[in-house]
């Protein structure tokens, strides 16, 4: 049986040499294998092809049939690993917390336990008639996050 851990053990040594990091591996009960990779500079099609060939050569089709897909972690997928958060500092993200709260802001800083999000709030400022936009930094922990997605803007 093909396992996630087995695929990770095949992929990790190969991609680390090229400055690529593993985002996620999924293996379905019918052996549909999906490998998602990323890097600071992005991932090329040639890198995906090379990794796909390497994984395919490491598996034996005579023992088990499988379907393999290797791709970059696209903008439509949520951020999953710390290196993705670090790579995307300064970008606007949508965050959904496990309690259902939704936040949108700029990814300001990251650490091993979580990240900081700069959000804008309309608040009443003493001495002013109207609400003012105020920037606030919120510290979030990874264990409290349900999903974080990059906001794609065409402006």
pLDDT along the chain (155 residues), means of 10: 91 88 94 94 93 93 90 89 94 95 95 94 77 87 95 83
Instruction: Looking at the structure, tell me whether residues 57 and 92 fall in a common domain.
Output: no
What pTM value is reported for the model? 0.83
Instruction: Looking at the structure, tell me whether residues 59 and 106 fall in a common domain.
Output: no
- State the residue range of the domain holding 126: 82-150
Q: What local confidence, expressed as pLDDT, does residue 61 receive?
A: 84
Domain end marker among 72, 99, 124: 72
Instruction: Looking at the structure, tell me whether residues 10 and 63 fall in a common domain.
Output: yes
Phi, psi of 126 (to 5 degrees): -55, 130
Phi, psi of 130 (to 5 degrees): -110, 160
Q: What local confidence, expressed as pLDDT, does residue 62 receive?
A: 84
Nearest to 111 by CA among 90, 144, 139: 139
* Total domains in the fold of the chain: 2
């Amino acid at each position: 049986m093909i396992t996630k851990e087995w695929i990770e053990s095949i992929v990790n040594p190969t991609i680390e040499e090229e400055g690529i990091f593993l985002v996620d591996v999924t293996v379905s009960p019918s052996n549909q294998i999906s490998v998602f990779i990323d890097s600071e500079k992005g991932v090329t099609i040639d890198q995906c092809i090379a990794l796909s060939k390497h994984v395919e050569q490491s598996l034996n089709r005579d023992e088990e049939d499988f379907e393999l897909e290797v791709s970059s972690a696209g903008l439509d997928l949520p951020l999953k690993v710390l290196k993705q958060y670090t790579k995307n500092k300064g970008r606007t993200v949508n965050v959904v917390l496990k309690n259902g709260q939704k936040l949108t802001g700029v990814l300001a800083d990251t650490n091993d336990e979580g990240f900081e999000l700069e959000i804008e709030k309309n608040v009443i400022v003493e001495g002013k008639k109207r609400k003012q936009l105020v920037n606030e930094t919120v510290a979030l922990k990874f264990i409290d996050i349900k999903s974080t997605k990059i906001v794609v803007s065409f402006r």
